[in-house]
């Protein structure tokens, strides 16, 4: 298995992905492979806030622990995946692509990414 940088570059090089980042619970970027069109600092800060609200939503609905949230935007989905207690993986996907294989890979590689932090 490669290091964090190699995994992030591998994710970002896929046709379905516009960019990716790992952000800490403090809203700061740990590592990013986002395109220049994305405001990395704002993405990081808002990802943390979004995850907190999604966790509260899940708690109210008795849904269990939040693992992944998919937000469907006009220019492509944003996928937020919890990586342990201290970080979130943010993936910005391209519109009109099949997310199924990507979501499966994120689920199966979550522990590997968490272990590299």
Mean of per-residue pLDDT scores for the chain: 87
Mean pLDDT over 23-39 rounds to: 89
**Angle between helix 4-12 and 100-116 (nearest 10):** 160
**Average pLDDT value for residue range 3-11:** 66
User: Stretch 2-6: mean pLDDT, rounded?
Assistant: 62
CA dihedral 52, 37, 71, 115 (to 10 degrees): -60
Looking at the 3D structure of the chain, how many domains does it have? 1
Whole domain around residue 42: which residue ranges? 4-116
Give dist(CA 91, CA 19) in Å, integer. Answer: 6
pLDDT at 64: 93
Q: To the nearest 10°, the Cα dihedral for 15, 35, 23, 39?
A: -140
Determine whether 60 is exposed, middle or buried from the number of CB atoms within 10 Å of its CB (0-12, 13-18, 19+).
Answer: exposed
pLDDT at 94: 92
| CATH classification of the domain holding 82 | 3.30.450.30
Q: Which of 8-17, 68-77, 89-98 is least confident? A: 8-17
């Amino acid at each position: 298995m490669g290091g964090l940088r190699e995994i992030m570059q591998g994710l970002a090089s896929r046709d379905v992905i516009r960019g990716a980042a790992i952000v800490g619970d403090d809203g700061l970027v740990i590592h990013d492979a986002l395109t220049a069109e994305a405001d990395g600092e704002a993405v990081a800060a808002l990802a943390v806030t979004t995850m907190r609200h999604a966790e509260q939503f899940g708690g109210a609905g008795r849904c269990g622990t939040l693992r992944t949230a998919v937000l469907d935007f006009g220019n492509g989905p944003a996928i937020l995946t919890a990586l342990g207690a201290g970080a979130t993986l943010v993936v910005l996907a391209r519109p009109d692509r099949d997310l199924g294989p990507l979501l499966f890979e994120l689920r199966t590689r979550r522990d590997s990414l968490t272990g590299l932090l």
